[in-house]
Amino acid sequence: MAENNSGGGGGGGGEVEANQTIYINNLNEKIKLDELKKSLLAVFSQFGKIVEVLAFKTLKHKGQAWLVFEDVSSATKALHQMQGFPFYDKPMRIQYAKTKSDVIAKADGTFVPRERRKRHEEKGKKRKEQHDASQAGMPIPAYAGTYGSAPPLSQIPYPGGVKLPEAPAPPNNILFVQNLPQETTPMMLQMLFCQYAGFKEVRMVEAKPGIAFVEYGDEMQSTVAMQELQSFKLTPQSSMLITYAKK
């Protein structure tokens, strides 16, 4: 049952052979790497086990990510099903990665460390000696298991229109806390937030249960508190969402 992509109509060129790793570009470059990777993981783990998510912020690699699946079939499903998927307001462009990921090669035993990777190498050189990789030092037993089977995020809606937390608000010394359980009191929040330097006060809005504002002396301080307490669970079933308050 080998599936043939029968060319079909048009499309660009540059098709690459199937790979366990998909290469995604046209990603929103404003999203912080950590969040981006978590969101990718959350959105893509429906297609199968993900071994690794890689993304870099260097100029040459912004807006791109590599997603390593355990199986090629998962990668293929993901590639087709998520092609063009709106992600942080931009349609994802997905291809197979051009080369095998290191984590896979390591599990294969075909990993060969790229020693000849200097900054600027002679660019006339062709490297054709990729014929064999029988031994690459010691064989590595299995995947390092970068991610367990359970993705940390479980608040991702579904394909068709994503609304991921998009960090729209610029830094602010006041934090906006959402998704608090009904029984939250200002005192509870104060105990949590006063641990961090610059804490000033907690304000809850009685008309709207579930939210609070927490003020710090400056943006640096509020940022630290936000990072430390992001997704903190006051109860097992609800984790708080912290963003900067709008100005």
Which among 59-67, 153-161, 175-183, 236-244 is the span making contact with DNA, rule CB under 7 A?
59-67
Which among 56-64, 176-184, 192-200, 203-211 is the span making contact with DNA, rule CB under 7 A?
56-64
Q: H-helix or E-strand containing 103?
A: helix 102-108
> For residue 168, how many C-alpha atoms fall within 13 Å in the half-sphere facing its CB?
9
Binder to DNA among 30, 62, 77, 200 (CB under 7 A)?
A: 62
Tell me whether residue 64 or residue 190 sits nearer to DNA (CB atom).
64
Q: Is 83 in the site for DNA (CB under 7 A)?
A: no
Give least dist CB 59 to DNA, A.
7
Give least dist CB 190 to DNA, A.
36
Tell me whether residue 35 or residue 102 sits nearer to DNA (CB atom).
102
- C-alpha dist (Å) from residue 178 to 46, 184, 213, 224: 27, 11, 9, 17
Q: What tokens were used for 36?
A: 């981006």
Q: Is 57 in the site for DNA (CB under 7 A)?
A: yes
- C-alpha dist (Å) from residue 236 to 39, 57, 92, 147, 222: 21, 34, 34, 22, 25
Q: What tokens were used for 152?
A: 């940390």
Q: Is 146 in the site for DNA (CB under 7 A)?
A: no
Cα-flanking dihedrals φ and ψ of residue 37, to 5°?
-65, -40
Q: Is 109 in the site for DNA (CB under 7 A)?
A: no
Residues near DNA, by CB under 7 A? 16, 21, 23, 25-27, 29, 33, 54, 56-64, 66, 68, 95-103, 117
